[in-house]
Each structure stands twice: as C-alpha cells, then as structure tokens.
Amino acid sequence: MRDARGLEVSGADAGCVAALDRFLADFLAFQDAAANILEFARSEPGCLAAQLYAVGLLCYSQSDTTIATEAAPFLARGQALAAQATERERLLLAAVAAWSRSDFAAGIAALEVLIATAPTDIVAVKFAEFLFFQAPDFPRHLGFMRRAATGCADLPAFGAQLAFAHELNREFGTAIDVAEAAIAAQPDNPWAHHALAHAYLSQGALEQGLAVLPHHAPGWARHGRGIRAHNAWHLALLHLGRREAAPVHALYHGEIFGFDPLSPFEHTDTISLLWRLELAGLPTGADWQPLAEVAAMRAADAVFPFLAAHYVYALGRAGAVPEGEAAIAALQRRHGDAGAWRVGSALLPGVLALAQGDAARAAERLEPAMPSIGSVGGSDAQNDLFRQSFLVALIESGRAAEARTELRRRLEGVQPTPLDEYWLSRAA
C-alpha cells in the first residue's frame, strides 16, 4: 500500500495507512493531535512506519531519559520489522535510531540518502529540519531542502521549510519571497510566518516585522501550543529590538509561559525571553523560581548544549548555583568533550557566571566558545542569545573596546535597532 505522499508502506493495512496520513497532516500543521501516533503505534505493533514516527516524535522531547525509556520500545519493534521494510523505511529506521542516541550527524546522513531516492517523504524532511536544529550546518541544511524540493514543492508547508533554510543562510530576500509564496498558497501557515519573523529580525527590519506578524497572529490559535508560543516569542523579540518591555511582558504571560510546563520548547522560549530582557537592561516582569524548578529536573538530561545552557542560566538566576554546577558536572561526565560538547564545556560555566552577575568570569569563559558557538544548537535567532551574552559580559566587565569590535561585527550589513543603539551607548 502507499500513503498520501505516494510512498510504499510495508506490512500495512488500510487502517495503518490512514493513521500515517492523519499523522502527516497533523504534524505538518503543528497540531497537538500528531501525538496520537504514539497510541496507534502501541496498538498496531506491526505497522513499521508508525513505530518510526513515534520514535521521531519522542526525540523532540530533547530529553535523554524520555528517549531512553519511552522511545526504546517503539525502536525495538521497528528494528524487529526491518526485514520486511522498504529501503526508504530502513533508512528512516537508521535515522531515528541515530537520533535517539543523539548521533545527529548519522541521522542527517541517513536522511540525505533517503531524500535522494524518496524526495516526496515530507515527514523525513521535517525530521531532518529538527536534526539540523540540534546540529546546525546552515549551508548543508539549505542543500538538503533544495534537493527535497524536487518532491515536496507541491506542499505550502514545505515552502515554509525552504524559506527558513534560506533565512538561516542570510538570504533574506529569497526567504521572504518563498515564505510569502507559501502563505499565498496557504494563508494559515504558521511555519511560513515563523520564517518571515526570522528574516525581519535578522536584518533589523523591526517595523516591517511588526507590520506583518500581528496580522497573522490570530490564526496561530488554530494550531498546537508549541508553535503558538514560539511565534509569539518571535513577535516579542521584534518588540524587544525596540526595547519595549510592556508588549514583551504581555506576550510572555499571555502566550508563552505557563501553558505546557513539561515542554522543552516552552522552557527554551521562556528562559530565553527573560534572559534577553535582562541583557537589554529591562525588567523581566517575572519570577525565575518556577523556571528553576523545571531546570533542576531537566538540566543534566539535555541532549545538546543549547538546551542545557538555558537550564543552567535559569538555575543561576534563581540562586540555585550548586544545582547548576552539579548539572554541568553531570553533563561533562556523560558527554565529555565530544562534538558540540567541547564548545559547551566553555559555554555552560560562562552562562552560570553571567547568571550570578560575575561579568568578568563570564566573558573569560564565554570567549573561547564564541568562534564555534553555532555548533551548540539552535537557529540563528536562538543561538544569537549567546553572542548577546558575551557582548554584555564584555561591556559589564569594562572591556569596552572589545565590545565595540563585537558590535561592529554584529551590525555589518544590517540595520541597527534601538537595542543595538543601547549596547553601543554602553560600550562608548
């Protein structure tokens, strides 16, 4: 049998294919109902693709514990069915198996082979997008999406992914054009709105972003909690670029914080937004303590440095420094200096020092991480938090000349925002 994308599905009956097609539609539309694939996969252990989709969905938890305990049974069933699988399914199995052990590079490599022969596999393309979030390589990411376009260009949801890949490579005009074409084809397209938000923010076009994004914002309520909050976070960053605290606080309390306390996406957005308010010299309008309680449970469990840094900062800001130090030590024991964790070993102590108000130590520890900071994970807008932190640490530790150098590099080819002007005045 074949699914809605024309892909052969091994060992499937009509019920299995229908469930896969429902998952595909919900997954691309950022609907919470995509999680129903977990129960279906449990109830239909012979449906191989359902097992693989379940593993992939659980990898979005970004938690070693969750993946090890909850994804393992699905992966085991998938491996037991490998003999009957198609080549595409075997490659997807290899990809999610690598993903589940945090071998992001191997996961990406398997999906690159898959997409060369099955370019209509939009679920594989969406999985790859998140793997590139965890192990960023923006040119390779764009190359992957361009190859996938041969089979997925019919989907406005894919147009949003392609636009985002162009934006990550600082091809802002192309990103906007591609995103707008995807929105014209499907106005209710929150990931295309997300790509626009990136493009406007990254080039300092705050006024354009604030003219466009609020027009689309009412439609986000029709989608899952994660994309609603994340797009609201992007809208907040546009206001933050103008150093407008009140709308940021309103979005934080009204759209971002307190809706899904177990979600790592909410954790990232909430911690990042309060952190950025502090870097901008603005009041947070919120308490760090609830975030620290979550961070204490999750910091040592993070699968990549980007997420760990957020938890460590929250612990430091709440005064839970011993817990932050313990999490750093646990992560060091688990990961050592392998891959991105080599950069993380400098980033995490620097972040904790900044949270404690020790700017000199923060600048000293963050400095060696900066040349390779993109490797720790996150998109360009998300990862920029660490560059902002280093900049503020330089300013606050009296290293003004170096701060001005960082600012010149930062502002090359983009419009200075009121936030940039604020930092320039502090570094004068």
Cβ within 8 Å of residue 385, ≥6 positions away:
272, 275, 276, 378
* DSSP annotation string for 77-128: HHHHTGGG--HHHHHHHHHHHHHHTT-HHHHHHHHHHHHHH-TT-HHHHHHH
**pLDDT value for 413:** 86
**pLDDT value for 415:** 87
Is residue 52 located within the same domain as residue 86?
Answer: yes
**pLDDT value for 194:** 98
Is residue 112 located within the same domain as residue 23?
Answer: yes
- Global confidence as pTM: 0.97
Domain annotation covers residue 261 = no
Domain annotation covers residue 414 = no
Domain annotation covers residue 317 = no
Tokens 């060992």 belong to residue: 11
Q: Which of 220, 239, 260 is the last residue of a domain?
A: 220
Scored b (16 or more CB within 10 A) or e, 138-151 reads: beebbebbeebbeb
Q: Please give the residue range of the domain that contains residue 3.
A: 1-134
**For 170, phi and psi rounded to 5 degrees?**
60, 30
Q: What angle do CA 249, 374, 379 make, to 5 degrees?
A: 45
Q: For the chain, what percentages of helix, strand and coil (3-state, to nearest 5) are there?
A: 75, 0, 20
**pLDDT value for 55:** 98
Domain annotation covers residue 240 = no
Domain annotation covers residue 40 = yes
Is residue 162 located within the same domain as residue 127?
Answer: no
Tokens 């609603």 belong to residue: 228
Q: Which residue ranges of the chain lie beneath pLDDT 50?
A: none
Q: Which of 220, 241, 264 is the last residue of a domain?
A: 220
Is residue 108 located within the same domain as residue 216?
Answer: no
Is residue 84 located within the same domain as residue 192?
Answer: no
Is residue 106 located within the same domain as residue 192?
Answer: no
What would the two tokens of residue 166 be? 């162009």
Which domain CATH number covers 40?
A: 1.25.40
User: Residue 420 CB: number of other CB atoms within 10 A?
Assistant: 17
* Domains held by the chain: number: 2
CA-based radius of gyration for the chain: 21
**For 395, phi and psi rounded to 5 degrees?**
-60, -50
